Amino acid sequence: MKRLLPCRDCRRPVLWTITEAGKRMAVDPDPDPAGNTAVWRDGTGAVRSRRPSAELPLTGWERLYMPHVATCPTRTEQLALPGALPPGVTSLDAHRRKKRR
């Protein structure tokens, strides 16, 4: 049985995995064919994840899951561009455009 913990931002249940680099990554609890993360349980019972590639495609014991950061409503709201900047904040976009020329 999967051990699901709530996301700190949106409180939805997530499945925590360990990546090939040894980092923790949250994925949505149900497999998703549109996902980009291969998840499997290793011999010790740990839930592992990796990014499938052309060299290492999805294997029979792995399932595709969607990373939770892509579907977390709180995160997507934070990443949305604001309509207007708060008072006292200056946009540097014009300066950056001049510098690139």
Domain ranges of the chain: 4-79
Residues ≥6 apart with Cβ < 8 Å to 32: 64, 65, 66
pLDDT class of 89 with cuts at 50, 70, 90: confident
Within 10 angstroms of residue 17's Cβ, the number of other Cβ atoms is 22
Q: How far apart (Å, rounded) are the C-alpha atoms in residues 99 and 95?
A: 6
| Residue 27 exposed, middle or buried by CB count within 10 Å (0-12, 13-18, 19+) | buried
pLDDT by residue (tens digit) across 15-56? Answer: 999 999 999 999 999 999 999 999 999 999 999 999 999 999
pLDDT class of 90 with cuts at 50, 70, 90: confident
Partners of 24 in beta bridges: 18
Q: How far apart (Å, rounded) are the C-alpha atoms in residues 101 and 95?
A: 10
Does position 99 have pLDDT exceeding 90, yes or no?
Answer: no
* From 32-41, 67-76, 79-88, the region with the lowest mean pLDDT: 79-88
Query: What is the average per-residue pLDDT within 4-9?
Result: 92
Q: Which pTM was predicted?
A: 0.71
pLDDT of residue 20: 94
Q: Measure CA of the first residue to CA of the last residue in the chain; give whole Å.
A: 56
Q: Check residue 20 and give left, alpha or beta (phi > 0: left; psi -120 to 50: alpha).
A: alpha
